């Protein structure tokens, strides 16, 4: 099978070389590399063209700025491979990752591999995955806690999953909006403990600078899923986002009320306490309480 590696490029002239070296150096070489220059105003357009001259597997798309989703979508349209994967151009991938992951796509629609999150910072932490084969997408989302790592880039996808799916343009946290649609088309997901994606912190990135409006987009994505797939732990995860949105915007909560089974073994003590307050009140009250506490302590 051929693998199409889609790399959106925008204002990453200082990290593009590291990213590209990690991809062209992969031991699995039946791949095409699609660099999507998303109207970058720095030296990235020239660097992309230089890479294409150095390696015939590399193709470059130059386009007006459409944002991360628009760049990924352009890459999907151009992809010729049977399998698609993504890399952000300020990140990189460990040697041998594709060679380790590609055999599993023979029997799966999505293959997910580990991530070293916030690489090079004091927050650095490995998202390790246990080998597991999911044939029920709800189990993958809930029991596998895929909602905590719904990233586009640490996964391989069969090309046909994108036949009727694209990343939504004009919004952020687009990965969380998109993965549930891909899962609706999938029959099997395989998580593996081999390979690694290095996620590097970008101080200008959305994760570091998200406002209330942007977190509202993340909340909206989860609220669309929670009506179909939910358990107490996932609900409390989304409640945390709802509380942040309320604190930043003051807008009426979107999250519907759900009582929490406080004796559930998988809940932590902190989660049980939050569930207790929720059970005694409602979503808006716990949001107000959270905001008040943060005002008293002087932090978010």
Q: What are the angstrom distances between the C-alpha of 52 and each of 21, 41, 45, 56, 86?
A: 13, 19, 11, 6, 18
* Residues ≥6 apart with Cβ < 8 Å to 122: none
Q: Give ∠ CA 161-163-166 in degrees, rounded to 5.
A: 85
Predicted local confidence at residue 210, as pLDDT: 74
Task: Centre a 10 Å sphere on the Cβ of residue 128 and count the other Cβ atoms it contains.
Answer: 11
- What global pTM score does this model have? 0.93
Q: What is the mean pLDDT of each run of 10 residues along the chain (300 residues)?
A: 97 96 96 97 97 97 97 98 97 98 97 96 94 97 96 97 96 96 97 97 62 93 95 96 95 95 87 93 94 76
The DSSP output letter for 32 is E
Predicted local confidence at residue 145, as pLDDT: 96
Predicted local confidence at residue 299, as pLDDT: 58
Beta strands at 92-93 and 197-200: parallel, antiparallel or unpaired:
antiparallel
Q: Which residue has the tokens 């107000």?
A: 288
Torsion angle of C-alpha atoms 90, 53, 37, 12, degrees rounded to 10: 30
- For 279, left (φ over 0), alpha (ψ -120 to 50), or beta? alpha
Axis crossing angle, helix 232-249 with helix 212-226, rounded to the nearest 10? 150
Predicted local confidence at residue 170, as pLDDT: 92
Q: Is the dihedral of CA 141, 144, 150, 155 positive or negative?
A: negative
d(CA 172, CA 208): 12
């Amino acid at each position: 099978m051929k693998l199409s590696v889609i790399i959106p490029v925008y204002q990453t002239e200082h990290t593009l070389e590291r990213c590209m070296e990690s991809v062209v150096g992969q031991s699995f070489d039946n791949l095409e590399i699609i660099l999507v220059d998303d109207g970058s105003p720095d030296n990235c357009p020239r660097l992309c063209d230089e890479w294409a001259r150095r390696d015939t597997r590399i193709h470059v798309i130059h386009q007006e700025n459409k944002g991360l989703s628009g760049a990924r979508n352009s890459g999907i349209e151009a992809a010729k491979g049977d399998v698609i994967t993504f890399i952000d151009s300020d990140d990189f991938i460990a040697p041998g990752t594709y060679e380790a992951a590609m055999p599993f796509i023979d029997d799966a629609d999505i293959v997910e591999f580990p991530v070293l999150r916030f690489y090079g910072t004091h927050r650095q932490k490995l998202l390790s995955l246990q080998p597991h084969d999911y044939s029920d997408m709800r189990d993958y989302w809930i029991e596998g806690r895929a909602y905590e790592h719904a990233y586009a880039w640490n996964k391989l996808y069969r090309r046909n999953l994108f036949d009727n799916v694209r990343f939504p343009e004009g919004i952020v946290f687009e990965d969380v909006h998109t993965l549930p649609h891909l899962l609706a088309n999938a029959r099997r997901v395989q998580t593996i403990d081999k390979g690694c994606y290095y996620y590097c912190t970008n101080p200008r990135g959305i994760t570091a600078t998200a406002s209330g409006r942007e977190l509202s987009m993340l909340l909206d994505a989860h609220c669309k899923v929670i009506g179909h797939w939910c358990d107490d732990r996932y609900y409390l995860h989304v409640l945390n986002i709802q509380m942040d949105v309320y604190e930043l915007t003051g807008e009426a909560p979107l999250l519907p009320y759900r009582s929490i089974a406080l004796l559930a073994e998988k809940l932590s003590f902190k989660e049980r306490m939050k569930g207790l307050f929720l059970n005694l009140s409602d979503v808006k009250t716990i949001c107000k309480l959270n905001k008040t506490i943060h005002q008293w302590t002087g932090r978010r």
